[in-house]
Chain A
Amino acid sequence: MDALDLARWQFGVTTVYHFLFVPLTIGLGVFVAGLQTAWHRTGKEHYLRLTKFFGKLFLINFAMGVVTGIVQEFQFGMNWSEYSTFVGDVFGAPLAMEALLAFFMESTFLGLWIFGWERLPKKVHLACIWAAAIGSNLSAYFILAANAWMKHPVGYEVVDGRARMTDLWAVLTNPTAIAQVPHVVAAAFIVAGGFVLAVSGYWLLRTKAPMWRSAARAALVMTALAGAVVAGTGDTSARLLYEQQPMKLAAAEGLQRDTAGAPFSIAPGIEIPGLLSLLATHDPTATVQGTEDLQAKLEQQFGPGDYRPDQTIVFWSFRVMIVFGLTAVALSVLGLWLTRRRRELPPWLARIMVLALPLPFLAMISGWLLSEIGRQPWTVTGELLTAASVSPGVSLTEVAISLTIFTLLYGGLAVAEAVLLTRHVRKGPEQTEPAPATERLQPSLMY
């Protein structure tokens, strides 16, 4: 165990944790904005109650996304100073753009939304939640563009041992980013959809109030649509992996040798012939490279070393992602069918929706494990090894201290957030008074 291992653990723990909250922020922000728009358009009371109810849950979660995101912004410099110095010229630009174009908008307009219920005209107030939601989604684009560059670096040259950007447009339109952004953002909408469905399911088991059916219907539509986007972009990603990150694809499939007409293995030993080649190239007879043959080629190119990622994690996280993600989407399609033409949602399905809450989260995390562990041993594919990225001056003790502090703090906050969300879900929406002259802010939406 050295400082490098602990720094990797810390990055893994803090990033996975951060990305439990962020997808919910991305999807739920748009959902709440949609509810408020529905209230605006129809004037129906229950949309306002749902807006405030899900708005409160959104804010509890939003806080966690923000505070754990700050850690990410500093962590590259703290633990990965060699990486930061090497990539900053390219990688820093989307991060700076994220702050300027997305975070300012998100935080400022959310502050206006929370405290502006009576101070702002209704339309302006509605625009504020949309601006905040758009800010969240924009931030996803910039950070994913930066991340895509690590996997498939473009628009740069290496001068004096540092990457120098030569084409910002190429970085922002990296094909890996173009495939990854809709994939991750749509997955975030599935996470948010699953969350709304679990909450609505909980209430549908207790009450016949029509507001829960409309919340559930909206979430079912959102999840099913997002599911279609995730599947489509997943297909694009597989083909990009074949071209750009063959080692990750081989590891995800447990394919050891270059194989023509490569099979897709559902689990070790159960294979569908030709399917992997079909998915990767749209040609069932094409050759897909295997881990051992790639290893030999990479050793020739970069010198001795192990260029294979942890194949067990990559193989299984790929399967968990697909199975859990597809299950969540299939449930939403089933729910849409069963609730067609004003039919009520059956209680057994409501129960399943509550139980299915963890599935999209687990699919999301598995997707990231596949994506980032599959990139190893590189931080920047073909340019910089993870082992050469770590801060040389930061000691094992220091990383051990920070890893301990962050893990304990994050663990405590996770419990607190779960308790707080559960309590507010159980409490349910508050009654909105029918337009009293002196209506004040709902206490729950302020400090």
Chain B
Amino acid sequence: MVNLWFVIIAFLWTGYFVLEGFDFGVGLLAPFVSRGPEQHRQSLETIGPVWDGNEVWLITAVGAMFAAFPAWYAGMFSAFYLPVVLILVGLIVRGVGLEWRGKVTNPVWCDLGIVVGSALPAFLWGAVFADVLFDSTLAALVGGLFTLATCVLHGAVFLSLKTDGPVRRRARAAALAASAVVLPLAVAALSSLGSIPALISMAALAAGAALTYRRREGWAFTATAGAIALASVAVFAELRGAPLPGITLTDAASGPYTLTMLSWIGLITLPFVLVYQGWTYWVFRKRVALTAH
């Protein structure tokens, strides 16, 4: 039961990194791949209907940690106090920026909030997890830069998949440029893990770059999504022994009764969540066209 819940929490974090990974990337790139307000709106509209739902993956992952592994939840967020404060600040200014952007006369502050608020968590999540694993500032820095660059790549590929016209063209160029940064960082960050998922993740990132070059946007997005998922799997595989230095999963876990109850609730509700979130992506499956208002 303890192992099952560790896998569920790893699944929720992985879902969060894959999904919010691209909307962090889009948030970061939007001002740089768009010329003028119409294109800017077009870029952000690709994540408009889905980013908030993506963020609930984080809320659920954290809530599940609290319920299933209280000591892990409490230890992790009190140990990384200030980075977590900055992540929260990022998520706040980003969320408000995205929601308010269409309702203000001059969106420049919203746009700044979206860029800064996407960059902070994209960097800091990588730094925090790398620091848990390696307990070194250098590793944290490399880990943070790796997740930041990977989000940019993932977001650029998503933008090129979901838009048309000049934004699509610039997003492709941004994806290729990002690849040049991501690949060496991936080698630095993932090779120290050395596990099979970490190695396949590196290969998937390379494949994503190659597929972008060959204009196979759908497959490129599959590759970057897979790369992020595998990198996350590699991280959680390392954390299994000790999710934080000095504590084991069993120490951190809730009792069997709670875990059983949570399992039933998760088993019943998660399929519905996956279906209606999947449906949202289906409803908004078309490329976002450039429209003047």
Binding site for B on A (CB under 8 A): 56, 59-60, 62-64, 66-68, 70-71, 73-74, 76-82, 84-93, 95-101, 103-105, 107-112, 114-116, 119-120, 159, 162, 164-166, 168, 391, 393-394, 398, 401-402, 405-406, 409, 413, 416, 420, 424, 440, 443-447
Measured between beta carbons, the chain A residues less than 8 angstroms from B255 are 89, 159, 164-165
Q: Contact at B63–A92, with CB atoms within 8 Å? A: yes
CB distance from A33 to the nearest CB of B (A): 17
In the complex, the answer to whether A447 meets B77 with C-beta atoms within 8 Å is no
B41 contacts chain A at the CB level, 8 A cutoff:
yes
Are the CB atoms of A393 and B92 closer together than 8 Å?
A: no
Q: How far does the alpha carbon of A79 sit from the alpha carbon of B85 in the complex, in Å? A: 11
User: B50: CB under 8 A from chain A?
Assistant: yes
Indicate which residue in B60, B68, B78, B95 contacts A394 across the interface (CB closer than 8 Å): B78
Which residues of A lie under 8 Å from residue B95 when comparing CB positions? 63, 66-67, 70
Contacts A93-B262, A103-B59; A70 near B67 (Cβ below 8 A): no
The majority secondary structure among interface residues of chain A is helix
Other-chain residue from B41, B84, B89, B261 in contact with A447 (beta carbon distance below 8 A):
B41
Contact pick for B67, options A78, A92, A447, CB 8 Å: A92
B84 and A443: CB pair below 8 A? no
A70 and B81 in contact, given A89-B258, A111-B50, A447-B45 (Cβ under 8 angstroms): no
A-B contact list, 12 entries, CB within 8 Å:
A78-B77, A78-B85, A92-B73, A100-B60, A100-B269, A104-B56, A104-B276, A108-B52, A112-B49, A115-B48, A393-B78, A409-B93
Task: Count B-side interface residues using an 8 Å CB cutoff.
Answer: 66
Residues of B within 8 A of A76 (CB): 66, 73-74
Residues from chain A with a CB closer than 8 A to the CB of B93 are: 409
In whole angstroms, what is the CA distance A405 to B83 when docked?
13
Residues of B within 8 A of A391 (CB): 74, 78, 81
Which 6 A/B pairs are nearest by Cβ-Cβ distance? A88-B70, A92-B67, A63-B99, A77-B77, A81-B74, A84-B74
A93 closest partner in B (C-beta):
B67
The answer for the CA separation of A70 and B96 in the assembled complex, in Å, is: 12
Closest partner residue, chain B, to A94 (CB atom): B67
CB contact under 8 A between A74 and B48, given known A56-B103, A88-B74, A420-B103:
no
> B52 touches which one: A66, A92, A398 (CB < 8 A)?
A66
* B280 partner residues in chain A, CB cutoff 8 A: 108, 111-112
In the complex, are the beta carbons of A60 and B103 less than 8 A apart?
A: yes
Central interface residue in B44, B53, B262, B291, by most chain A CB within 10 Å: B53
| Interface: B266 (CB within 8 A) | yes
Q: Which of A78, A84, A393, A447 contacts B101 (CB 8 A)?
A: A447
Contact B283 A447 (CB under 8 A): no
